[in-house]
Amino acid sequence: MSSHRPQHRLSVPDIQRRKGAGSLVALTAYSTPMARLLDPHADLLLVGDSLGMVLYGMPSTLGVSLEMMVAHTLAVMRGSRRACVVADLPFASYQESPRQAFRNAARLLADSGAQAVKLEGGEEMEETVDFLVRRGIPVLAHIGLMPQQVNAMGGFKAQGRDPESAERVRRDGLAMQRGGAFAVVIEGVGEPLARRLSEELAIPCIGIGASPACDGQVLVSEDLLGLSGEQVPRFVERYARLDREIDEAARRFAEDVRERRFPEARHCFAMRE
């Protein structure tokens, strides 16, 4: 009998138990090859609606459809074995009512195999989160800078940097915890506020442009790999410059083709005698 055992995929309860027990690592993934590379290093793979901007060149996440999220989440599931996979509910797929949210969240999980959904919102979404969780759909909440509300916020602007805004974000975090979210992403808020929320909430707080005191950190993978151009948010650390490596590889290929140095004999198939 083979001694090989299938690798255990981290579950939602596994993520919940990490509160105060070591930093969680979360990365975005949108494809099978990227998921395969990131999976050994990540606790959470987030199939974010940021794919609309990162992969499709959209100006915001608002044009992403549920069908796109299902397709890309399926690709990530095929490329991963260890990480807990969470898929974003796209704009206009859950804001209308708890029933609409359940219908689309259930389809997203059933058709893709993801373990949880992520949705943006605070106090106004508490009832929806509770409705989903009570019906077996785990929810990762997202507060602070919420990209799906870019028009209402007047752009991608940091939140919670004045007392009134900070209290609103704090109430949002508490509402998401009451609703039953298993964890919360805190994006683009003042560092003291993110630190306070991480101390106050009993669920894991995953920061992006928030605080090192959060229970984990998430970045868009293309940002940290240097594939997002020269302009990146201030909270991004570029751990590689793959854009330069790709540019150089493409330049060398083009040069070799034009100079007829590629393909060589070793790249070609011989005739059978």
- Report pLDDT for 2: 46
Signed CA dihedral, 39, 41, 42, 43: sign only:
positive
Distances from the Cα of 73 to the Cα of 28, 106, 132, 154, 198, angstroms:
11, 14, 19, 30, 28
pLDDT band at 28 (very low <50, low <70, confident <90, very high): very high
Asked if the model's pLDDT at residue 7 lies above 80, the reply is no
pLDDT in tens, 118-129: 999 999 999 999
Which position has the token pair 């990227």?
A: 34
Question: Does 118 belong to an annotated binding site?
Answer: yes
Higher pLDDT, 168 or 151: 168
- Indicate whether 214 belongs to any domain: yes
List the beta bridge partners of residue 140: 118, 183
How many domains are contained in the chain? 1
- Indicate whether 258 belongs to any domain: no
Whether the bond between 263 and the residue before it is cis, its omega within 30 degrees of 0, is: yes
pLDDT, averaged across the chain? 96
Residues 6+ apart with CB under 8 A from 31: 72, 75, 76, 79
Question: Does 88 belong to an annotated binding site?
Answer: yes
- Report pLDDT for 259: 99
- Indicate whether 246 belongs to any domain: no
pLDDT in tens, 48-74: 999 999 999 999 999 999 999 999 999
Rounded to whole angstroms, how far apart are CA atoms 186 and 175? 13
Q: Mean pLDDT throughout 34-39? A: 99
Question: Does 120 belong to an annotated binding site?
Answer: yes
Residues acting as catalytic residues: 187
- Report pLDDT for 172: 99
- Indicate whether 245 belongs to any domain: no
Which secondary structure element, helix H or strand E, spans residue 112, and what is its range?
A: helix 98-112
Residue 22 belongs to a domain with what CATH number? 3.20.20.60
- Report pLDDT for 6: 58
- Report pLDDT for 3: 45
Question: Three-state SS for 47?
Answer: strand
Structure tokens of 162?
A: 């004045």
Q: Mean pLDDT throughout 95-104? A: 99
pLDDT band at 1 (very low <50, low <70, confident <90, very high): very low
> Can you give the residue range of the structural domain that contains 180?
10-240
With a pLDDT cut of 90, the percent of the chain lying above it is: 92
Q: Mean pLDDT throughout 218-240? A: 95
Rounded to whole angstroms, how far apart are CA atoms 147 and 50? 9
Asked if the model's pLDDT at residue 150 lies above 50, the reply is yes
Higher pLDDT, 196 or 4: 196
- Indicate whether 20 belongs to any domain: yes
Q: Which amino acid is at 271?
A: M
Rounded to whole angstroms, how far apart are CA atoms 205 and 153? 22
Rounded to whole angstroms, how far apart are CA atoms 198 and 25? 16
pLDDT band at 154 (very low <50, low <70, confident <90, very high): confident
Q: DSSP assignment, residue 103?
A: H
pLDDT in tens, 156-202: 889 999 999 999 999 999 999 999 999 999 999 999 999 999 999 99
Residues 6+ apart with CB under 8 A from 148: 49, 61, 62, 90, 91, 120
